[in-house]
Amino acid sequence: MRTTVYIIRHAEAEGNVYRRCHGQYNALLTTRAYKQLPYLAKRFENVPLAAVYSSDLFRARVTAQAVAEPHHLSVETRPVLREIDMGDWEDIPWAELPHTWPEQYALWCARPWEAAPPHGETVMQAGQRMLDGVRAIVRENEGKEVAVVTHGSAIRGMLTIAHGFAPEPMGEIGWGDNTCVAKLEFDENGNIDVVYENDASHLPQEYSTFASIGWTNTKGIPASPQIWFRRADPKNPQDVDKIVGFMRELHKNAYGTDANLDPDALIRDVERAQKVSPRACTFGCLESGEEVALVYLKTWWEEQPEIGLVGGFCIAGDYRGCGLSGQILGQAISVYRALGKRELCARVAEKNMRAQGFYHKFGFLQRGEYRDENGLHYQMVKPISVE
Q: How high is the pLDDT of residue 175?
A: 85
DSSP state of 112: T
Q: Where in the chain is the domain with CATH 3.40.630.30?
A: 228-383
Superfamily of domain 3-213: Phosphoglycerate mutase-like (3.40.50.1240)
C-beta separation of 374 from 312 below 8 A: no
Between CA 181 and CA 129 the distance in angstroms is: 19
Q: How high is the pLDDT of residue 222?
A: 53
Q: What angle do CA 98, 236, 327 make, to 5 degrees?
A: 40
Between CA 140 and CA 103 the distance in angstroms is: 43
Q: How high is the pLDDT of residue 217?
A: 47
DSSP state of 10: P
Between CA 155 and CA 168 the distance in angstroms is: 16
Three-state DSSP at 284 gives strand
Between CA 327 and CA 228 the distance in angstroms is: 9
| Separation of CA 216 from chain center | 19
| Separation of CA 325 from chain center | 13
Query: Residue 79 CB: number of other CB atoms within 10 A?
Result: 11
List, in sequence order, the alpha helices (H) in 163-217: 209-213
Number of H helices, E strands in the chain: 12, 13
Between CA 99 and CA 228 the distance in angstroms is: 9
Which residues are within 8 A (CB) of 141 and not within 5 positions of it... i.e. 6 or more apart? 3, 50, 51
pTM for this predicted structure: 0.93
Handedness of CA 147, 148, 154, 159 (dihedral sign): negative
Please tell me the total number of residues recorded for the chain in this structure.
387
The beta strands (E) that lie in 78-206 are given as 145-150, 181-186, 192-199
Pick one of 2.40.30.110, 3.30.1490.120, 3.40.50.2300, 3.40.630.30 as the CATH number of 228-383: 3.40.630.30
| Separation of CA 207 from chain center | 16
DSSP state of 177: P
DSSP letter string, 297-320:
E-TT--SSTTEEEEEEEEE-GGGT
What is the bridge-based pairing of β-strands 307-315 and 291-297?
Answer: antiparallel
Between CA 180 and CA 197 the distance in angstroms is: 8
User: 196: which strand partners?
Assistant: 183
Average pLDDT per 10 consecutive residues for the chain, totaling 387 residues: 96 96 97 97 98 98 98 98 98 96 93 93 97 98 98 96 86 88 96 96 95 61 79 98 98 94 97 98 96 98 96 94 92 98 97 93 95 95 93
Q: How high is the pLDDT of residue 44?
A: 98
Q: How high is the pLDDT of residue 216?
A: 52
User: 365: which strand partners?
Assistant: 381
Query: Residue 296 CB: number of other CB atoms within 10 A?
Result: 23
DSSP state of 92: -
C-beta separation of 369 from 332 below 8 A: no
Q: Where in the chain is the domain with CATH 3.40.50.1240?
A: 3-213
Q: How high is the pLDDT of residue 238?
A: 98
